[in-house]
Chains A and B, each alone.
Chain A
């Protein structure tokens, strides 16, 4: 009895060994795949964003170099729009979803910190760079200019937002103007707190009188539990012909 039992075990041992071996190899493979996914998220997605950003910047440079389609860029406040002279709205009046609308520069995050802002906040838009919430104010406009960006993946444009301090400059570069905003507040809110992107944050019915900026990203890093919100207010609008604003010259 003991003999047959021993024989059975020794006959089965190679099978058992190969089962354990194959299981081990599968587990090691899964572990390697997890590391590969990490590499994909933290590094490979950045290659895609870098490519898209470089295309956007070229596109902006060539667009800005071209003269405006119509010499009448805007209607004077006293005139009646649409009466006799109805100038076609310029590109910047209604950005095309998926197009670049300008550059964001934050000296605190490095003198080379410059990202093209894409119009739209869909998953596809945000893969290409920080995205402007459609329907919120445009750069320099009265209301709230809201931009969202990735914190850890896709080149992590908004990774450094937590390092900003009150008074830091956020510069938005458009076709003809540098808009310098100053950080007024950093806060952490829940993802459902949509009041932070209102024209007057926190006050749904209020009429906006100030030009504000709001940057949003996820916080803490690698989490979706909260959102980091950076608020700012417009300090100055300087035409491009006058050179870069003081906020950028110090760097």
Chain B
């Protein structure tokens, strides 16, 4: 699989190394910024509260908890 990929990338040794590095970085970015953040909430070890937050939330509170107070931070990890 990886051997076939290696043979398919053009550009001699330098081109192949660069191509493989590019693919590796793209795969890592896809995992860390897209796939892992999607998977994470479905796993149990991040549950730290004792009930659903809505139970204790005052009815008059504005529903702004999802808005990041610092623009840009929320986009670092989706």
Tell whether A pairs with B: yes
Give A contacts to B, CB under 8 Å.
21-22, 25-26, 33, 36-37, 40-41, 44-45, 48, 51-52, 55-56, 59, 96-100, 119-128, 133-136, 146, 148-154, 158, 189, 191-194, 196-197, 216-218, 221-224, 227, 229
**Which of A44, A45, A134 has a CB less than 8 Å from the CB of B57?**
A134
Q: How far is the CB of B46 from chain A (nearest CB, A)?
A: 6
Assess whether B28 is in contact with A36, with CB atoms less than 8 Å apart.
Answer: yes
Within 8 A of A (CB), among B23-78: 28, 31-32, 36, 39-41, 44-51, 53, 55-58, 61-70, 73-74, 76-77
Assess whether B62 is in contact with A97, with CB atoms less than 8 Å apart.
Answer: yes
Assess whether A127 is in contact with B48, with CB atoms less than 8 Å apart.
Answer: no
Q: How far is the CB of A32 from chain B (nearest CB, A)?
A: 10
| A45: chain B residues within 8 A (beta carbon) | 40, 77
B45 to A, closest residue via Cβ:
A222
| B39: chain A residues within 8 A (beta carbon) | 37
Which 6 residue pairs across A and B have the least CB separation, nearest first? A224-B44, A97-B65, A224-B47, A194-B51, A120-B65, A55-B70
Instruction: Give the docked Cα–Cα distance between A134 and B70 (Å).
Output: 20
A21 to B, closest residue via Cβ:
B1
Assuming the contacts A26-B1, A37-B36, A191-B50, asked whether A122 and B45 have C-beta atoms less than 8 A apart, the reply is no
